[in-house]
Chain A
Amino acid sequence: DAKTTQPPSMDCAEGRAANLPCNHSTISGNEYVYWYRQIHSQGPQYIIHGLKNNETNEMASLIITEDRKSSTLILPHATLRDTAVYYCIVRPPGSRLTFGKGITLSVRP
């Protein structure tokens, strides 16, 4: 079973920041938080991952709380192409990915 909890859906306006929450209250000390997204009919696309420090790359920022029990993925300027299902995954080092149902982000014009 997935070790994360995400709301089923959210929307945001194009050009605004999209903040996608994820709860992982049972995360272990060596488990990383990964975010993937999946656009219809495509495979999951890796976005970002982190252990305990906040991370940023060209796609997004990942904010992990100090107790590591929750995190937020931030898309700073959402576009229509960011409409997708976003998966938050907690993963022990070197193991499989266990996907939940994810959160459906709808970006409106």
Chain B
Amino acid sequence: DAGVIQSPRHEVTEMGQEVTLRCKPISGHDYLFWYRQTMMRGLELLIYFNNNVPIDDSGMPEDRFSAKMPNASFSTLKIQPSEPRDSAVYFCASSLAGAMLSYNEQFFGPGTRLTVL
């Protein structure tokens, strides 16, 4: 398996522009997570999906952020309009629920390094 795939790996954009980050989870996984990592705030969970349905988006910083999962093999995180404080590494992760309410580890993608000028 190729693992979790994210694109682009690096994105440099100007303030006010729309940014779309993409994620392909591991085939068969039923959970998908979006995280943001910065030196100042560490690792933050933004939103996660179960079977393509958003379960908890309380970590999404503001209305400029939105995420979708139209099918089991694809998710997007969109920032519109982008601001310099959105500069961070954005990770996507996926996992597979186990039996009897047992949850397995998350597999992280390589991340997208976003720089907003």
* B is a partner of A: no
Binding site for A on B (CB under 8 A): none
